[in-house]
Chain A
Amino acid sequence: MAVVLLLILFYGGTMWMSVRISQKNENADGYMTAGGNIGFGISAASMTATWIWASSMYASATAGYTYGVAGPIHYGLWGALMILFIYPFGKRIRKVAPKAHTLAEVMYARHGRSSQLMLAGSNVLGSLISLTSNFIAGGALISMLSPLSFGAGIVIVAGGVLMYTLWSGFRASVLTDFAQVMFMLGAAVVIIPVIFFVAGGPGMFEAGVAAGTVTPEQGSFFSSDAFMNQGAPYIAAVLAYAIGNQTIAQRLFSVREDLIKPTFVTATIGYGGAVIGIGMLGVMALYLGVEPMNGDVNNLIPQMAGTYLGPVLLALAFLMIIGALSSTADSDLAALSSIVMSDMYGQSVGKENVKPKTMLLVGRVTMIIATAAALYFATAQFNILDLLVFVGALWGCLVFPVIASFYWPKVTNAAFSVSVLAALVAFLPVRFEWIPFTGALGFGVELLATIGIGVVLGIMSFGFFGLKPAVIIGGVATVAAAPFTFFFLRDYTVLSASLVAYAVSFLVCYLMSFRSKQDFDFDIIKDITGEFDPEHPAPAQGADEPELATRGAASAGGAGTAGTAADRRRD
């Protein structure tokens, strides 16, 4: 009963917030990016809330329980750096496409249809999987803490999220993120120290070691086990998730351009602190010798909360997890709708022929269909983890070609598409161990993986320091890593496969581009991407509405013409 009341309170409250900002005639651009003018508080809250999902809390606690004190660091730190490493690229992306709605839309302007479809397709699949995963987490939690079934739980979560996101889209998603992040971070601030002291305080560490529940490896901050199995594959995934996840891109296009850096830095620290902090519950469970309920480590957080917290704080912990999964689920719905609105409807009819009302209808119908599909996947026996691995790999294949496309005028549509497909073809047999990697084949995989290390570090350095330092860092990293990677990386297929994807996409894209005669004019992107809805002023533009609406109309009209011209120039 208490669980049902809390759910009514939570979804009722978010619905109330959503109704407060809803408008009879929503603006189509506002529905996707809230006018591209959001302030620091809301955007930082939204970025943090979106990136923290229920699975990240469960996974961090699992890492703490499995790998000991270093586990949560090797989960949360790299996840946090995903946000940090994308911001220099984010600034460049906003510069070349200030009014875009999706990254795929920008790829269309840069390259054409095939590149756009690759990115949009991976975005759709990723958001749908994330949505499904959040529904599953909600259903499991509700069925564990109440008499309600798993099926009833996922329907309540799906219905609650859809209800408050459907009408105002992204605007509702980011505003409710503020309330959700207050719950999440507030709960983390209170719950972690309370559980720590109620469970025995500092004495639990000596007791745990004395009882033999903690191995020396688990007690070490420099655990190689934690790094190789948890941290290293995550480092390789850092850029892939940041580039491939439309929820990040959407926030990038919505925040006021001068606030991109403080927003992303704040979200990095907020995500890292909260997720690593929640991971401490797993570390405590390890030292206390807690056995996960039914042998399932995903039960650790509810189990620790149920054992050591009173009713009020237990309710807060429940709302923390519901807030985490709902904020990510509403962002996934908003992301999916904007991809379909912009990349499918918008680009198929042409910017000048877009009807804003139809576009909004497309967005809302997308949300309903996506919710129904995620509910189906949540109840069917699909292996979500396998799908997630596949999408993660696809994103890894896209990172270099996408980033290079924003800086290097020589990258062609063919180089983009072929490099992504080649990387995927190389990734699959390594990841799923279809071929035994021994002898020359094993050596070849390790050679590519070693190049992949240089590519990952080179891309990360490029964002902050520019091309020359990036080439030096990437080259030195490859050479320095080589003595340690051969006859070693073949035992770590998850890590090797990701690195192979980076290496192959880099090599193919580079080799197909460096002799290309194309000299792409990045100003074209600004002309092709832009506002769809000059009819209704975006709410965030407020006081300057009439003037901006006029400018919007002019720019939209111009965009149609320029877009056509740009298409001709690009083709």
Chain B
Amino acid sequence: MTIGLTVYVLMWPVIVAVILFLIARGFFRDVSQAKKEGRPVI
């Protein structure tokens, strides 16, 4: 039970870290694409 609950509590920050990475990578790709095309990012 203890191990299961520990995994249950700690799995969410790991999932969030993966999404954080994907969003940050996507943002910097948006910025670099916009720079390449000579337009504002938004």
Q: Which of B6, B25, B27 has the most CB of A within 10 A?
A: B27
CA distance A539 to B39 in the complex (A): 7
Partner of A192, one of B2, B9, B22, B34: B9
CB interface residues, B 1-42, toward A, < 8 Å: 1-3, 5-6, 8-10, 12-13, 15-17, 19-20, 22-31, 33-34, 37-42
Partner of B26, one of A40, A193, A284: A40
CA distance A378 to B28 in the complex (A): 38
Q: Which residues of A contact B8 (CB under 8 A)?
A: 69, 280
A-B contact count (CB 8 A): 128
Give min CB distance, B7 to chain A, whole Å. 10
Q: Which residues of B contact A269 (CB under 8 A)?
A: 15, 19
Chain B residue at minimum C-beta to C-beta distance from A280: B9
Partner of B27, one of A42, A171, A203, A542: A42
- Interface residue? A295 (CB, 8 A): no
- Interface residue? A289 (CB, 8 A): no
Bits for A273-292, please: 1 = Cβ < 8 Å to B, else 0: 11011001001100000000
For chain A, the bracket of interface size reads 35 or more
Give min CB distance, B13 to chain A, whole Å. 5
Contact A202 B5 (CB under 8 A): yes
Contact B9 A42 (CB under 8 A): no
Q: Which residues of B contact A386 (CB under 8 A)?
A: none
Contact B42 A171 (CB under 8 A): yes
Partner of B37, one of A171, A186, A542: A542
Contact A41 B10 (CB under 8 A): no
Give min CB distance, A74 to chain B, whole Å. 14
Chain A residue at minimum C-beta to C-beta distance from B8: A69
Q: Which residues of A contact B38 (CB under 8 A)?
A: 542-543
CA distance A325 to B42 in the complex (A): 22
Contact B16 A42 (CB under 8 A): no
CA distance A96 to B42 in the complex (A): 24
Give min CB distance, A327 to chain B, whole Å. 13
Q: Which residues of A contact B42 (CB under 8 A)?
A: 21, 34, 38, 42, 171, 174-175, 539-540
Q: A44-B23, A266-B22 are in contact. Are A189 and B13 (CB under 8 A)?
A: yes
Q: Which of A38, A189, A274 has the most CB of B within 10 A?
A: A189
CB interface residues, A 64-117, toward B, < 8 Å: 69
Chain B residue at minimum C-beta to C-beta distance from A203: B2
- Interface residue? A164 (CB, 8 A): no
Q: List 13 A-B contacts (CB under 8 A).
A: A39-B29, A69-B8, A171-B42, A178-B23, A186-B20, A196-B9, A205-B5, A266-B22, A266-B26, A270-B19, A273-B15, A277-B12, A539-B39
Chain A residues with a Cβ under 8 A of chain B:
21, 34, 38-42, 44-45, 48, 69, 171, 174-175, 178, 181-182, 185-186, 188-190, 192-193, 196, 201-203, 205-206, 266, 269-270, 272-274, 276-277, 280, 283-284, 539-543, 545
